[in-house]
Amino acid sequence: MPERLGPPREKPLFSRVALVGLGLIGSSIARAVRHLNLAGTIVAIDQDEGVVARVKELGLAEEATTDAAAGVADADLVVICVPVGAYGAVAAAISKSLKPGAIISDVGSVKASVIAQVQPHLPQGVFFVPAHPVAGTEHSGPDAGFSTLFFNRWCILTPPEGTPDEAVERVREFWSAMGSNVEVMTAQHHDLVLAITSHVPHLIAYNIVGTAADLETVTQSEVIKFSAGGFRDFTRIAASDPTMWRDVFLHNREAVLEMLGRLNEDIALLARAIRWGEGDKLFELFTRTRAIRRGIISVGQETPEPDFGRRRDGQ
């Protein structure tokens, strides 16, 4: 038992939890739920037969299947953990077999689009409480997960209007039990905040690594050999899953474009300051951003370096 997750519960929070998508996030939830006894039974559902076979080998769930409709039947909690472009297909596949009173949740990095994709399929009497654990790595698949991934990380809930408080509280309890700090906000606000704190930084990483790779006058081996810490960090982020991130950008289009527009304006100002030798402008910005970083560390939200992204407990 990873010590910081605490002891298992005497009584599970949910009797049957179905996880749809057993990649990095789904398998991390399975591991944490198992360690903490948050579910009587874990059902793993994945469209990829290889993933289902691996889930069985790793013993991540009591049941594992490619059949989403059969897998969610009788579940009290269903957590969708697939790339955000696949939510509509998953919701359509499971809608008819959801049990009355079931809570549907998810982990998608984008929220307004997933609500738009899922809600039309949900029958009366099931409750949708979307969630986004702001925790992850550049790795994917069932072997990449670990039970402490969500410990001391934020998890944002974005319940649509009219969601009963009891459903929200049950999902809050689920994430709190896994060690997350839970906050509630609207899906629209979530998408705006995450566009600047997560989505655009990933786009910049993909872009800078791509630009460096395309340079004619600098060789690939020079890029690797002389990459200082900053560029190396970008290469880690730029190794993130292509399907997942393609979907994030296509499903948070407006907020990402808005933030990119702002960023382009600010970069133009920086280029101008460099061109005209306006060192005071550069110095003022760098002083301000250093204070922001130090503020982040002092409120305890800093990512431990350099091992972020690696398994912390070997699980």
Ligand X SMILES: O=C(O)C(=O)Cc1ccc(O)cc1
Ligand Y SMILES: NC(=O)C1=CN([C@@H]2O[C@H](COP(=O)(O)OP(=O)(O)OC[C@H]3O[C@@H](n4cnc5c(N)ncnc54)[C@H](O)[C@@H]3O)[C@@H](O)[C@H]2O)C=CC1
Report the relative pairing of strands 103-106 and 127-129 from DSSP bridges: parallel
Of 125, 149, 133, 173, the closest CA to residue 11 belongs to: 173
Give the C-alpha separation, 30 to 61, whole Å: 7
Among 64, 75, 84, 195, binds ligand Y (CB under 6 A): 84
Q: Which stretch binds ligand Y (CB under 6 A): 11-19, 75-83, 211-219, 231-239?
A: 75-83
178 binds, among ligand Y, ligand X, none (CB under 5 to 8 A by kind): none
Among 92, 99, 309, 313, binds ligand X (CB under 6 A): 309
* E strand or H helix that includes residue 155: strand 154-157
Q: To 10 degrees, what angle do helices 229-237 and 200-214 make?
A: 110
| Contact yes or no for 163/105 (Cβ under 8 A) | no
Nearer to ligand Y, 212 or 248 (CB): 248
User: Encoding tokens for residue 243?
Assistant: 């399907």
Give the C-alpha separation, 122 to 102, whole Å: 11
Does residue 48 bind ligand Y (CB under 6 A)? yes
147 binds, among ligand X, ligand Y, none (CB under 5 to 8 A by kind): none
Among 17, 18, 22, 29, binds ligand Y (CB under 6 A): 22
120 contact partners, CB below 8 Å, separation of at least 6: 91
Among 69, 70, 73, 86, binds ligand Y (CB under 6 A): 86
Q: Which stretch binds ligand Y (CB under 6 A): 29-37, 77-85, 122-130, 227-235?
A: 77-85
Q: Which stretch binds ligand X (CB under 6 A): 31-39, 74-82, 133-141, 265-273?
A: 133-141
- Show the DSSP H helices in 164-252 as ranges: 165-177, 187-194, 200-214, 220-225, 229-237, 242-251
Among 97, 109, 117, 252, binds ligand Y (CB under 6 A): 109
- Torsion angle of the four alpha carbons 183, 189, 193, 195, in this order, in degrees rounded to the nearest 10: 130
* E strand or H helix that includes residue 16: strand 14-20
Among 52, 104, 107, 237, binds ligand Y (CB under 6 A): 107
Binding mask 238-277 for ligand Y (x = CB under 6 A): ---x--x---x-----------------------------
Among 2, 14, 16, 26, binds ligand Y (CB under 6 A): 26
Which residues inside 286-305 make contact with ligand Y, applying CB under 6 A?
Answer: none
23 binds, among ligand Y, ligand X, none (CB under 5 to 8 A by kind): ligand Y
Among 51, 104, 129, 203, binds ligand Y (CB under 6 A): 51
Binding mask 216-245 for ligand X (x = CB under 6 A): ---------------------x--------
SS (H, E, C) 86-131: HHHHHHHHHHHHCCCCCEEEECCCCCHHHHHHHHHHCCCCCEEECE
Q: Which stretch binds ligand Y (CB under 6 A): 9-17, 137-145, 216-224, 265-273?
A: 137-145
Whether cis (ω within 30° of 0) applies to the bond prior to 306 is yes
226 contact partners, CB below 8 Å, separation of at least 6: none
Sites of contact with ligand X (CB under 6 A): 109, 134-138, 198, 237, 309
Sites of contact with ligand Y (CB under 6 A): 20-26, 46-48, 51, 68, 81-84, 86, 89-90, 107-109, 133, 136-137, 140-141, 241, 244, 248
